[in-house]
Amino acid sequence: MKYLESLDLVHRDLAARNCVIDKSFTVKISDHAMYCDRYESDYYISDTKARLPIRWMSWESLLLGRQTTKSDVWAFAVTLWEILMLCTQQPYAELTSEQVVENCNHWYQNDGCQRYLPRPAACPREIYDLMGECWKRNATDRPRFAEIHLFLQRKNLGYMPAPTQV
């Protein structure tokens, strides 16, 4: 995502379902899930028949159609939440699609009633704080992917995954 940001390219559907990891733990970002029946429940069909990943979308993307690298930063935090939940739960699973849209309206109105995704049990406080930064109401207040990358690199200093068995 740091690379896409450097090109000023917006992904618009960043989610765990669109991440592929190779044997060397390199993550490839795609958009193949939109075309898979398996992920049909992750998309809301709008009045115009557009498939929208509303549970991953920033409020300004959903309500104003404003899609930027900063709205991808919002989706990154949702994706990080998914991963820390071991991909066992859909974001805002307790809400209907209509309630997700209503929650976005609370973000838009800035009325203090907006809901955040809860901190996963396996999530360190510093990582949840990063997620909170990514969910700032004003897109300009959210970090850039370059900053997120640097933060995660620092958190990861010295860690090397065990070699995989083939």
> 132: domain CATH number?
1.10.510.10
Which one-letter amino acid corresponds to residue 5? E
pLDDT at 6: 97
CB 28 within 8 A of CB 89: no
Catalytic residue among 8, 13, 22, 47, which? 13
pLDDT at 164: 64
Is 13 known to be catalytic?
yes
Structure tokens at 40: 């049909």
Structure tokens at 41: 């429940």
Q: Comparing C-alpha atoms, which of 135, 127, 15 is closest to residue 1?
A: 15
The answer to the question of residue 60 being in a domain is: yes
The answer to the question of residue 109 being in a domain is: yes
The answer to the question of residue 6 being in a domain is: yes
CA separation for the pair 23, 40 (Å, rounded): 28
pLDDT per position in the chain (166 positions), as tens? 999 999 999 999 999 999 999 998 889 999 888 878 888 889 999 888 889 999 999 999 999 999 999 999 999 999 999 999 999 999 999 999 999 999 999 999 999 999 999 999 999 999 999 999 999 999 999 999 999 999 999 988 877 767 766 5
* Overall domain count for the chain: 1
pLDDT at 137: 97
Q: Comparing C-alpha atoms, which of 83, 112, 113, 80 is closest to residue 99?
A: 113
Structural domain containing residue 94: 2-11+54-155
